[in-house]
Amino acid sequence: MAYIGKPPVNGFFAKQTITGDGSTTSFALTVSVADPSSLIVSVGGVLQEPGAAYSLSGGGSSIVFSQAPSSTDTTYVQFLGTEITQNN
């Protein structure tokens, strides 16, 4: 299938699958992000709202859900961007 639009700068959008247990709300991210809206988060096929359903902690290295994902729900995070650290 052809892609219409500007291609991603780094050639891909990273994806992470999270395995919930019904009680854990904080998970380490494989890619640090600067803003919750830099993620598309799906829990059980339902898109989650940034700032309401989840937030970031640890300088963008962890995602914290307001309600713990259950073990029966497929939870994934699609990264739309990454945090860039610039040393001057």
pLDDT digits (tens, 9 = 90+) for 4-63: 666 655 556 789 999 999 999 999 999 888 889 989 999 999 999 999 999 999 989 999
Structure-derived torsion over alpha carbons of residues 38, 56, 11, 3, reported in degrees to the nearest 10? -40
87 pLDDT more than 90: no
Confidence grade of residue 1 (pLDDT, cut at 50, 70, 90): low
* DSSP category for residue 60: T
Instruction: Using a cut of 0.85, tell me whether the model's pTM lies above it.
Output: no
Name residue 40's beta-bridge partners: 78
pLDDT score, position 72? 93
